[in-house]
């Protein structure tokens, strides 16, 4: 029996409208208000002069990046089911125990557990060369700002599905409706900590990640390298010895050595070209 040489038109239409275009637009609508809010903060409390070219590059990259991530994360989740399903049953008693505490505490636990797995994933990205080649795209932005948040290679999203989202969901299952709320709050927070704004939490920087704390992570200054890996709770960095306090009133330059990608497609190929060139360690 011969295989069809092309997909039927109705299948293609379904793929690009219901499976891609519709969720893509939903993602854009979900992200846009938070990005605009943080953009206003950046205008009011600007830390450094923004790089307009880098911002425009990021906006173009985000549009394509969302589409790629939707496709590969959905596929990755389906492929993971044969492993996730038995593990979910095994961890069910633990999740049931967590659900006995108040809902607000369950929310905090879910964010803390997510951030725990994110911390170690992020730390590995800065430690191991193959992972750094993928993550370097995010750090190559010479202008730390709200659009930097989604300047992330699609391979990184796929990896975090396996190392962050799935492990966290096995351990903590928030009450019905809470995951949606957490998704909105989580996205807003990630945009916020990338703000090019003079915002610091003072003594609370050791507990919660602020834009000042996360700018240190992106800083080009040698003393800031491999510091401040957490996205929500700085106490993970404090606990594991990777916390660096931001200096009051100082907003260091960011970026990596070398030239940032010139085009969106060059950004997609960047990890593979760096591997081909034999680059091994973070710049």
114 near 164, Cβ under 8 Å? yes
77 near 165, Cβ under 8 Å? no
Q: 190-220 burial, b for 16+ CB within 10 Å, e for fewer?
A: bbbbbbbbbbbbeeebeeebbbbbbbbbbbe
228 near 216, Cβ under 8 Å? yes
Distance CA(149)–CA(132), nearest Å, equals 17
Q: Per the structure block, which two tokens stand in for 202?
A: 């003072």
The Cα-based distances of 84 to 69, 119, 169, 183, 278 in angstroms read 20, 22, 10, 21, 35
Main-chain dihedrals φ then ψ at residue 140, nearest 5 degrees: -75, -10
Distance CA(81)–CA(161), nearest Å, equals 12
- 3-state secondary structure at position 86: helix
Q: What is the pTM of this model?
A: 0.84
Q: Would you write out the chain's pLDDT as a tens digit for each of its 283 residues?
A: 344 444 444 443 444 444 444 554 566 677 788 889 999 999 999 999 988 999 999 998 988 777 777 676 666 667 777 777 777 787 788 778 777 878 778 888 888 999 999 999 999 999 999 999 999 999 999 999 999 999 999 899 889 988 998 888 888 876 655 555 666 777 889 999 999 999 999 999 999 999 999 999 999 999 999 999 999 999 999 999 999 999 998 999 999 987 888 888 899 888 888 776 666 555 4
């Amino acid at each position: 029996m011969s295989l069809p040489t092309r997909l039927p038109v109705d299948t293609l239409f379904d793929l690009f409208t219901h499976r891609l275009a519709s969720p893509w637009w939903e993602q854009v609508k979900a992200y846009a208000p938070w990005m605009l809010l943080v953009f206003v903060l950046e205008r009011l409390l600007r830390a450094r002069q923004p790089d307009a070219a880098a911002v425009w590059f990021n906006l173009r990259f985000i549009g394509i990046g969302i589409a790629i991530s939707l496709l590969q994360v959905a596929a990755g989740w389906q492929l993971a089911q044969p492993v996730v399903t038995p593990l979910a049953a095994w961890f069910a008693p633990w999740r049931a125990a967590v659900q006995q505490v108040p809902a607000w505490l369950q929310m905090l636990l879910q964010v803390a557990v997510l951030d725990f797995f994110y911390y170690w994933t992020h730390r590995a990205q800065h430690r191991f060369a193959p992972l750094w080649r993928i993550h370097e795209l995010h750090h190559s932005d010479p202008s730390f700002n709200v659009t930097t948040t989604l300047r992330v290679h699609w391979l990184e999203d796929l990896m975090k599905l396996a190392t962050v989202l799935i492990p966290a969901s096995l351990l903590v299952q928030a009450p019905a409706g809470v995951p949606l709320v957490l998704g909105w709050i989580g996205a807003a927070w990630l945009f916020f900590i990338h703000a090019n704004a003079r915002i610091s939490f003072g003594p609370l920087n050791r507990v919660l990640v602020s834009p000042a704390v996360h700018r240190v992570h992106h800083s080009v200054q040698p003393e800031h390298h491999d510091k401040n890996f957490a996205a929500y709770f700085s106490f993970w960095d404090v606990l594991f010895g990777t916390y660096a306090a931001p200096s009051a009133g100082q907003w260091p330059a960011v970026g990596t050595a070398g030239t940032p990608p010139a085009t969106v497609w060059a950004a997609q190929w960047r990890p593979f070209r760096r591997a081909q060139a034999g680059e091994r360690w973070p710049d």
